[in-house]
Amino acid sequence: MNTAIMKSKSLASLTVAAVVSLVGSGAVASTYSAAVLALNPVGYWQLNGNTGDSVTTNPQSGTWVQGSGLGTETTGAYSPGPRPTDGFQGMSSANQAGDFNGGAAGRWVRIGPGEADYDFDVGDPFSFVSWIKTSNTSDIQFILSKINTDPNGAYQGNTLLFIPVTAGPGYGLTGQRVSAPNDSLIGNNTTPLADGSWKMVVWTSSGGTSANVMSLYVNGVSVPADVTIDSFVSGNTTSDGPLTIGGRTWNPSSAFDGQIDESAVFNYALTSQEVSDLYQAAVVPEPSTLAVVGLGAIGVATYVRRRSRRECQR
């Protein structure tokens, strides 16, 4: 066989192999994480086999713990997270999620040091984002929290959690800002969510204490929030406790039972369009470097075939 033809076929094979390799490595999977990072979170934990923080400008790693208080360090566990096979084409085929086992001995993740980066007072805007999957409908479960460790109820902080829905079965998504025992701003959605499928849940606050400052989203879509306002208009919601994923620093019975993935915290309120775009980045990836490489591979293959014909005609 002509040497040029052999080289051409080899080049074509290598080009195709490179594209296949990129597909297999989940190159498109950067679509969702890239979308998160483009929104400038102050903290972002992919939980893809570790508790490392993807935000290099604020690299706060987490520690797996179990029990109440600050918890006892333990080994984390991981399960498959949302993947292309689940319909989330913007995620990696190898995506992992943190596996939280609930109950009094439940695992959760403590983030620190640098907890003040995730502390928001009454007038401060913020957003909490997580992907969750659970079928447990019998207990309150915490998703993302930053609340003091005081077990006597004199606490401050912010938390995104599930509460059992009596009309369920299932959970309602809840965002709660608290200051002292009885002062709080709570937004509840009573749509049952615990159906064992992956969901992106988002809680935003534009700051302040009026009923319209809170927004809840499920899979990129706003859901009704029944807001209850107590008497903490002048209260303080800053917390000296650590940021936690899948639990809180007291009452371990409220540890999350299921999987949590792609948790992020922002120091501003995401808009409804930003939330929708974020979910779409997980469902339908935008044209990416992989697409460019794929088109390049087609171009190279065409060039190779034409060159081979020319070599044969000589």
Phi and psi, residue 51, nearest 5°:
-105, 20
Predicted local confidence at residue 55, as pLDDT: 78
Distance CA 269, CA 198 (A): 23
3-state helix, strand, coil in the chain (%, to 5): 25, 30, 45
Predicted local confidence at residue 122, as pLDDT: 83
CB-based burial label for 240 (10 Å; 0-12, 13-18, 19+): middle
Distance CA 287, CA 105 (A): 44
Distance CA 289, CA 22 (A): 10
At residue 305, what is the residue type? R
Residue spans of the domains in the chain: they are: 28-285
Distance CA 216, CA 210 (A): 15
Q: Is a pLDDT exceeding 80 seen at residue 30?
A: no
pTM: 0.80
What confidence tens digit (pLDDT) does each residue in 82-130 have?
999 999 999 999 999 999 988 777 899 999 766 788 999 888 999 999 9
Does the domain spanning 28-285 belong to CATH 2.40.30.10?
no
Q: Would you say 220 and 275 are in contact if contact means Cβ atoms under 8 Å apart?
A: yes
Q: Is a pLDDT exceeding 80 seen at residue 160?
A: yes
What confidence tens digit (pLDDT) does each residue in 224-240 have?
887 777 765 567 788 88
Q: Which of 227, 232, 183, 235 is nearest to 204 (CA)?
A: 227
